Chain A
């Protein structure tokens, strides 16, 4: 198929479980997400050659980087894999220009060529003014630009980004993320992005592979990933409500008995064990507590109110808990506060019902945003 792509097949024992993954990346950006300790970094390291997997085949186009059946194991320096590390990993004792010059491929024939190519890269990434600065003297966003310039200077066939934005403050992050998106679309390289943050993934990736305890639990486009999360982890990652339950037909609708309590009515037809997804912006919150339990209604105290831009996210401690997005105007009218008992409601039309697949373990939830 794609001669430019990357094929990854790995089995490798980790401390708690075995890494067993298989996926392909074309000339696109694939986000590798999952709870901490799911094996994401191990996958990146195996591709870069920094970890020798017990078994596996990794191909960059037609070139095997590793093939344990044929005893091929290229050392990292021979792999043409560009890696951008979490906090840049810029060499602190070298100037920005020296950092960028360090890995130039093909090797410059002389000093003049080296200087010219470094200048080109610095210009391309808008960091020419920093050429003489040390990594310790520049900002986090600038460091990540230098790190990308350095990785690109190696003329890689594959690009690996290990949490490239996680060390940045939110303002810088938005800016660097936008730049990164533009550069990635210009470079058109098979790119793997490891991230803890759904906003990074949504802004940068075309496809998402979800890893949990060493296994791929979902491999989908970003849209499918949001619409049909395969696990509570994915739901929490994207910020939608995700419930398990059992569906039974009731007239032209479906009634889902949630675990451990509550009922959801949806305008679809499905039966048996299911997962129910409700977007937080479809959930309304009212400051009353209904004594009678009704379908599409959950009652509980407010656990947390977090303001996010214009809207506020309200976490209701019902059984099961539910997340609601409340517009600011309504928030002021309702005068909600933590601990207050409220009712969360939504319409049957806003409920998505998914056939429950092999329910993966909940694992660790990503940090709330």
Chain B
């Protein structure tokens, strides 16, 4: 029989070991990106045209995707969270599908719908709308893949707002819109910002669907992940590392800013 103290010691050791494994497993690869190449070389690489273009494309497309996701995803999440209607579960499940699909399949699906030979291809062609291999295609690929991250969190957020507050707001003379912006959205803000952060990060890192549907045209559709892959294929290991470092830094900054901004809001 193990004594209580020994058991507690063993539990602490297991926890510590697990934490150590996780920190090494996630931290070491990220750290080595920065350590593999001397910092001055890293900064020098960032001045190249390819990197600047890729950064610009990435920021532009991921922010437009984020805006699209929030504008479209918020009402849908609110609907799913607050109303009971036939097909509600089907709709919710359907919107989560991109989470489990391989991004390549998402790219093929977008192509099959909006490509020249796709379902809407002829109509779009007749209207002189050409989507594949444009920055719009990048936004569509990113939104397709990142949308569920926001919708899921936002739905959970709206569902956790006590309906009594909304009823109170309505009896106090506020219509549905005012009740939403003054009561529901602020009370769900933690989930909304968490969902938006995740979706933005996912859009920023999108690779598979973008590669298939938007290609990798420098300055137009070549986002940072695509540029990294292109440099990697061209055996430019330093450039690859530099851009990877940039992506890690941006992602970290996003997460940190959102977290700080939110904590500041709460207190």
Q: Do A and B come from one complex?
A: yes
Question: Are B169 and A83 in contact, with the CB atoms below 8 A?
Answer: no
Q: Are the C-beta atoms of B171 and A83 separated by less than 8 Å?
A: yes
Contact between A89 and B165, CB atoms less than 8 A apart: yes
- Partner of B174 from the list A77, A82, A92 (CB cut-off 8 Å) is A77
Contact yes or no, B187 A92, CB < 8 A:
yes
Closest Cβ of chain B to A287, distance in Å, is 50
- In-complex Cβ contact of A50 among B165, B167, B173, B183 (8 A): B167
Q: Are B186 and A77 in contact (CB under 8 A)?
A: no
Report, nearest first, the 10 A-B pairs whose CB atoms are least far apart. A103-B172, A76-B170, A89-B168, A83-B171, A89-B164, A77-B173, A103-B173, A77-B175, A93-B186, A48-B171
Let me know if A126 is at the binding interface, CB within 8 A.
Answer: no
Whether the pair B172, A102 counts as a contact (CB closer than 8 A) is yes
Docked Cα-Cα span, A304 to B174, in Å, equals: 50
Which of A's residues lie within 8 Å of B, judged by CB? 45, 48-50, 75-79, 81-83, 85-87, 89-93, 102-103, 105, 150-151, 154
CA distance A90 to B164 in the complex (A): 9
- How many A-B pairs fall under 8 Å by CB? 62
- The reply to whether A49 and B170 contact each other, CB–CB distance below 8 Å, is yes
Chain B residues with CB below 8 A from A151, complex form: 171-172
Bound together, the chains give a CA A76 to CA B166 distance in angstroms of 11
Chain A residues near B164: list those with CB within 8 A: 85-87, 89
Task: Kindly state the separation between the CA atoms of A94 and B174 in the bound complex, as whole angstroms.
Answer: 15
Q: 24 A-B pairs, CB-CB below 8 angstroms?
A: A48-B167, A48-B170, A50-B171, A75-B175, A76-B167, A76-B170, A77-B171, A82-B171, A83-B168, A85-B164, A85-B167, A89-B162, A90-B168, A91-B165, A91-B168, A91-B187, A93-B186, A102-B174, A103-B174, A105-B173, A150-B172, A151-B172, A154-B171, A154-B173
- CB closest chain-A residue, reference B183: A91
CB-CB under 8 A from B183, the residues of chain A are 91
Residues of B within 8 A of A103 (CB): 171-174
Report chain B residues within 8 Å CB of A87: 164
Q: A45-B167, A85-B164, A90-B168 are in contact. List 13 more A-B contacts (CB 8 A).
A: A50-B167, A75-B175, A77-B174, A86-B164, A89-B165, A89-B168, A91-B168, A91-B183, A103-B171, A103-B173, A103-B174, A150-B172, A151-B172
Q: B238 → chain A, closest Cβ, in Å?
A: 49
B162 cross-chain contacts in A, Cβ below 8 A: 89
Taking CB atoms, residues of chain B closer than 8 Å to A91 are 165, 168-169, 183, 187
Contact across chains for B167 and A75 when beta carbons are under 8 A apart? no
Specify which of B168, B169, B175, B186 lies most central, judged by the most chain A CB atoms within 10 Å of its CB.
B168
**Bound form: Cα–Cα A226–B168 in Å:** 33
Please list the residues of chain B having a beta carbon within 8 angstroms of any beta carbon in chain A. 162, 164-165, 167-175, 182-183, 186-187
Q: What residues of B have a CB within 8 angstroms of the CB of A48 in the complex?
A: 167, 170-171
Q: Return chain B residues, CB-CB under 8 Å to A105.
A: 173
Q: Distance (Å) between the CB of B246 and the closest chain A CB? A: 37
Residue of B164, B165, B173, B174 with most chain A CB atoms under a 10 A cut-off: B173
Contact of B169 among A45, A92, A102 (CB under 8 A): A102
A87 to B167, CA, bound (A): 13
Q: Are B186 and A89 in contact (CB under 8 A)?
A: no
Cα(A91)–Cα(B187), bound, Å: 9
Distance from B21 Cβ to chain A, minimum over Cβ atoms (Å): 40
Chain B residue with Cβ nearest A79: B171
Which residues does chain B contribute within 8 Å of A154, judged by CB atoms?
171-173
Q: Chain B residues with Cβ under 8 A from A86's Cβ? A: 164
Asked, given contacts A91-B183, A92-B187, A93-B187, whether A75 binds B165 with beta carbons under 8 Å apart, the answer is no
Chain A residues contacting B170 (CB-CB under 8 Å) are 48-50, 75-77
Smallest Cβ distance from A81 to chain B, in angstroms? 6
Whole-angstrom distance between the alpha carbons of A89 and B165 in the complex?
6
| A92 (CB) vs chain B CBs: closest residue | B187
State in angstroms the CA–CA spacing of A65 and B60 once bound together.
51
Nearest CB in chain A: distance from B142 CB, A: 32
- Which residue from chain A places its CB closest to the CB of B168 in the assembled complex? A89
Per the bound structure, the CA–CA distance linking A277 and B187 in Å amounts to 52
Q: Give chain A nearest CB distance to B8 CB in angstroms.
A: 36
A78 surroundings in chain B (CB, below 8 A): 173
Closest to B175 in A: A77
* CB nearest to A81 among chain B residues: B171
Instruction: State the Cβ distance, A97 to closest chain B Cβ, in Å.
Output: 14
Chain A residues within 8 Å of B187, by CB: 91-93
Residue contact A89 to B167, C-beta cutoff 8 Å: yes
Q: How far is the CB of A42 from chain B (nearest CB, A)?
A: 13
For the complex, what is the distance from the CA of A164 to the CA of B170, rounded to whole Å?
A: 19
